[in-house]
Amino acid sequence: MHSNLYWRLSRFYFSYYFFVGAFVPYWGLYLQSEHFSAADIGILMSLFQISRIFAPNFWGWLADHTGKRAQWIKLTSFLGLCGFMAVFWAHGFFWLFFVMAALSLFTSSTLPLAESLTLAHLATTNGHYSRIRMWGSLGFIVASVVLGFVIDVSGIKSVLWFLLLVQMTLFALSYTLPDPKLVAHENDHFSIWQVIKHPNVIALLIGCSLMVTAHGVLYNFYSIYLSQHGYSKGTIGLLWAVGVVCEIGIFMLMPKIMNRYSLKTILIISLALAVLRFSLIGVAIDHLWLLILAQSLHAATFGSFHAASVEVITQFFKGRHQAKGQAIYNSVAYGIGGTIGGISGGYALQYLGGQQTFMLAAIFPLIGLIVIGVGLKLSHDGHHSKALFN
């Protein structure tokens, strides 16, 4: 891959996940400071997952239909910036619900569009997705650590200005993304529904949804859970950072790992480690070193799992279905899965407590392991897995 293209894509990922690294760990704490209940926070935070069910599919269809992914990334980035600016005037559950719903419609669509654009470039340049995605992880870690200490010094309101600055940067960088040259694929004659209803695709999407359901609980309530048990905002930021440092490491190693192990093996091991991770978070809240161990497993529960999932999705959805495929993956896994985890996690935290909530979260990747293990069948070409469509 040409170095100029590599850096354009990498810095966009860095900025997008810089926003995520500031939003995910601390927005729930901001909402808590506005005196919302855990159940209310679960509903508000889940708007981003709910919008992922619908919005990316519209933009994905538009991108595939027009062949102009970059221009829609510019538009969603601009509308996302406008939506976030409205947060400064939104107070009370109703107004914040309305503003966050509008914001989420666009910010949730930017990533799948960027993913499809990146993968289309990689298809013609022999680059590695994980090497570019690694910069997103780096953005997440820098934001989560820096903002944690900023909040300890300046107060929780500083998160608003921090996020506004990042949204402005993301919009500016959207103008540096070039559209890829799209090549025809032999499966272009399949309709999108023929691809979706294939048993392999169904098994993968269900397995991914179950993994993300557990992470929906984590993303929405991990910081609140830690704060309730006396951890400072700086320590909370560092714990988030531990997970993402390990995630960066696994992204760097993924090309070698994928050469050695099948994609299905990577998915199964990642799901098994997720069961361990969420169980540890539930039982070891008072033991910092065990929480650090649990966070290090983010390398598998998100890093290797996401990288392998994207590879399989890319094999299922090629050519004229590529952007729609990434949108469907985001909608089902992160939309439906994240919504279930976010909303149910809020009620579980409010009525059962944090420890029981995270123990229950471990059940979802356990079921996902069974679904992927039994339902996903891939052919093998050396150490690479290929999707079966015959």
pLDDT band at 84 (very low <50, low <70, confident <90, very high): confident
388: pLDDT strictly greater than 60 = no
Mean pLDDT computed over 284-302: 94
Mean pLDDT computed over 106-116: 79
Residue 257 vs residue 1, higher pLDDT: 257
Compute the half-sphere exposure of residue 45: CA atoms within 13 Å on the CB side of its CA: 37
How much is the pLDDT for 310?
Answer: 86
pLDDT band at 219 (very low <50, low <70, confident <90, very high): confident
How much is the pLDDT for 322?
Answer: 64
> Quick check: 363 and 258 in contact, CB under 8 A?
no
Among 119, 107, 129, smallest CA distance to 18 is for 107
How far is Cα 46 from Cα 106, in angstroms, rounded to an integer?
14
pLDDT band at 197 (very low <50, low <70, confident <90, very high): confident
66: pLDDT strictly greater than 90 = no
> Quick check: 28 and 223 in contact, CB under 8 A?
yes
> Quick check: 345 and 221 in contact, CB under 8 A?
yes
357: pLDDT strictly greater than 80 = yes
190: pLDDT strictly greater than 80 = no
- Tell me which of 149-163, 243-257, 326-340, 375-389 is least confident: 375-389
Mean pLDDT computed over 174-191: 66
CATH class of 10-181+190-387: mainly alpha
Mean pLDDT computed over 291-311: 93
128: pLDDT strictly greater than 90 = no
Q: For the segment 230-268, what is each residue's pLDDT rounded down to a tens digit?
A: 999 889 988 988 998 898 899 889 989 999 999 999 999
**In the numeric block, which tokens belong to residue 33?**
């400071």
Q: For the segment 37-50, what is each residue's pLDDT rounded down to a tens digit?
A: 888 888 888 887 78
How much is the pLDDT for 193?
Answer: 67
55: pLDDT strictly greater than 90 = no
Q: At 261, phi and psi to the nearest 5?
A: -120, 150
Residue 192 vs residue 309, higher pLDDT: 309
Q: What share of the chain in percent tops pLDDT 90? A: 34
Q: What share of the chain in percent tops pLDDT 70? A: 89
384: pLDDT strictly greater than 50 = no
Kindly report the average pLDDT of the chain as a whole number: 85
Mean pLDDT computed over 207-226: 92
**In the numeric block, which tokens belong to residue 271?**
């799901």
How much is the pLDDT for 192?
Answer: 63
pLDDT band at 141 (very low <50, low <70, confident <90, very high): confident
Mean pLDDT computed over 335-341: 89
294: pLDDT strictly greater than 90 = yes
Following DSSP, what letter does each residue of 146-197 receive, concatenated?
HHHHHHHHH-TTHHHHHHHHHHHHHHHHGGGPPPPPP---GGGGS-HHHHHT
- pTM of the full structure: 0.75
Q: For the segment 10-19, what is each residue's pLDDT rounded down to a tens digit?
A: 999 999 999 9
- Tell me which of 16-30, 48-62, 142-156, 201-215 is least confident: 48-62
Among 190, 231, 214, smallest CA distance to 270 is for 214
